[in-house]
Amino acid sequence: MDKEIMKLDNVGLIYQSKNGETEAVKNFSLSVKEGDFVAIVGPSGCGKTTMLSIMSGILKPTSGKVFIGGKNIYESKTYIGYMFQKDELFEWRTVWQNIMLGLEIKKQNTSKQQEYAKKLIEKYGLIDFVNKKPRELSGGMRQRVALIRTLVLMPQILLLDEPFSALDFQTRLSVCDDVYNIIKNEHKTAILVTHDISEAISMADKVIVLTKRPATIKKIRKINIKGETPLKRRESPDFSLEFNNIWKELDR
């Protein structure tokens, strides 16, 4: 389980725009091991989403390298799952068609892959909704469909970009639990980006605190809170202690 799956080596990114150059990321080095759940927190506008774009290979850093499973990210064919603030389901497709989207794009829409998709759908309680349109589903269920949509492509790593911020607080807690359980169940490595400290410590084994722009690592904290799920962790007395630690770190 201790195999290194993702490595960022001295990554930096400078944006060019009409108004000049912006250094968004600087000297960012990180090693993620298989099965890790890493959370990245930082002040808003510090380039957290930029980090995820680099890790997914959509954005090329101006300096440094990104490795997936020991290979350069642009040479490796590994799929990296991406979840957004909104579920980004396509309203004109049914739940099933939404889940099939990635397979259609990759032209892997084989019966074997469909079988796997069906298994996931059944396992996570969506079997009755496969022919429904997304608008007929609750916010939590929509997010679950979005997660399965990425899981059918068998990603090695899941990138989560504040995936719960569009939900109301009540749903957010239960969906957070839900998503966490699915990720752990499927033994996926996950990198979560958020500005919500409590969300980060309730889910992650490792929290990375970023500085203001240009984003660089200020502190890496291992989280050791007892509790098997985010909800249980929130009940632990260590939780608020850890919260204060990171909050102070961010504030400084």
Partner 1 sequence: MNKRREISQARQQYLKRQKNRKIFVISMQILIIVLFFAIWQLLASTGVINVFVFSSPIKIVQTFGDLLASGNLFYHIAITFFEALVGFLIATFLGFLIAIILWWNDKLRDILEPYIIVLNSLPKIALGPIIIIWFGAGTKAIIVMAILIMIIITIISLLNAFLACDKDKIVLMQSMGANKFQILTKLIIPNARTEFLSVLKINVGMTWVGTIMGEYLVSKAGLGYLIVYGSQVFKLDLVMTSVLILCLLAGIMYGGVCLIEKLLNKR
Query: Long-range contact list for 104-110, CB < 8 A, 24+ apart?
Result: 106/153
Q: Which is nearer to partner 1, 56 or 202 (CB)?
A: 56
Residues 190-249 that bind partner 1 (CB under 8 A): none
Q: Which is nearer to partner 1, 12 or 102 (CB)?
A: 102
Four-residue CA torsion sign, 232, 237, 240, 244: negative
Choice from 104, 136, 228, 235 touching partner 1 (CB under 8 A) = 104
Q: How far is the CB of 248 from partner 1 (least distance, A)?
A: 32
Bond prior to 214 in cis (omega within 30° of 0): yes
The DSSP 8-state label assigned to residue 5 in this structure reads: E
Choice from 32, 51, 53, 99 touching partner 1 (CB under 8 A) = 53
Does the footprint of partner 1 cover residue 127 (CB under 8 A)?
A: no
Q: Which is nearer to partner 1, 93 or 218 (CB)?
A: 93
Does the footprint of partner 1 cover residue 81 (CB under 8 A)?
A: yes
Q: Which is nearer to partner 1, 14 or 59 (CB)?
A: 59
Does the footprint of partner 1 cover residue 58 (CB under 8 A)?
A: yes
- For partner 1, the binding residues (CB under 8 A) are 53, 56, 58, 79-82, 84-86, 88, 90, 92, 101-102, 104-106, 153
